[in-house]
Amino acid sequence: MKFPIYLDSHATTPVDPRVFDEMKSYFTENFGNASSLDHSFGYDASVAVQQGREKIAHAIGSTMDEIIFTSGATESDNLALIGVMERNKEKGNHLITCVTEHKAILDTAHHLEKIGYKVTFLPVDEFGQVDVESVKSAITSETVLISIMFANNEIGTITNVSEIGKIAHDKNVLFHTDAAQAVGHLPINVEKMNIDLMSFSSHKIYGPKGIGALYVRGIMPRVKINPIVFGGGQERNLRSGTLNVPGIVGFAKAIEISQAEMDSENIRFKKWTGFMLEKLSGADAKLNGHPTKRLAHNLNVRFDGIESKAIINSVSKKIAISAGSACTTKMVEPSHVLMALGLDEDQAHSAIRIGCSRFNTDEEIKVAAEEIYSAIGALAKIRA
């Protein structure tokens, strides 16, 4: 067994060898610029991009013209929120989002506040779910957009996006969801789920880093947004910049594999996280997030009275786990997600996040659970 065992798959995932094989030639042989259509190098790159766009669109139930390539979900979130609010000033200036969103949404929302927009940050219940009625109540005549995360990156709680999307459409409001943690792990159909804009990323599903997408609904309603990056007019003038052809090829292959293997993976993940929760319950672990409406590969637990950093450091030679979002782990403040559940600062500082991967094994999960369990026992003795 190779150590450390990687169990931080909400932060990122290793590139699947099948994805890497698909990408290789687009670095060295088919290296053309997809916008250079005067010769075969550029044409071949353009074909690869369009094939990738088609595969990704098929996976989420959209058309290929509704996929805009970006550098990742953070850029997609920025483009969705700023692009929609700026484009629809004549309709209103109000955005509705949620307190447990990723920083890519929260910081963008705060930026919009600074330049004159109104933002409502909805609370969540003890499981991290937004009350659908509170979404409906927050809508005003000035509301342009609702943005609620599909599945939380820290606690794995899954949102009822279909119902929120229906409320938005009934009120003539657009609905965006950050689905970085959901695409490739949950079945998604943007049409059936009433989603108007959706951000997602490659590196959460065993694809390369630096490539993501924003789905933008083309009809009923046709969503119009302003660009936030300017230049050569790529991606229908919504996201200028030379297209990352190898990344797009890898992204498409990753999502294709994830679609095919999702069901079997989730059965395996649910068994693993269930086993670990049962084992760690013997060390007084408490589950954070929803007990059933959660990502199968996510386990967020806390050990009250024991610092998460102490746990992580104790197992670091054998197990790679985290205290929460990879975008905020350098900060000493408690997780805004866990605090929103009603935990106090000490409780929030005692939580660890475990994220399983398709490359883990039964034996690795058993070893990881035992290592964490033993570490908790040792730390509890020191505390006593």
In the chain, DSSP assigns E strands to 5-6, 67-70, 94-98, 118-122, 143-147, 174-178, 197-201, 212-216, 286-287, 298-302, 319-320, 351-355
DSSP per-residue codes, 69-103: EESSHHHHHHHHHHHHHHHTTTT--EEEEETTS-H
Q: How far apart are CA 202 and CA 187, in angstroms?
A: 16
Q: First vs last Cα of the chain: how many Å apart?
A: 34
Are β-strands 319-320 and 351-355 bridged in parallel, bridged antiparallel, or unpaired? Answer: unpaired
Catalytic residues: 327
Quick one: CA dihedral 125, 293, 150, 324, positive or negative? positive
Distances (CA, A) of 97 to 102, 122, 346: 11, 6, 26
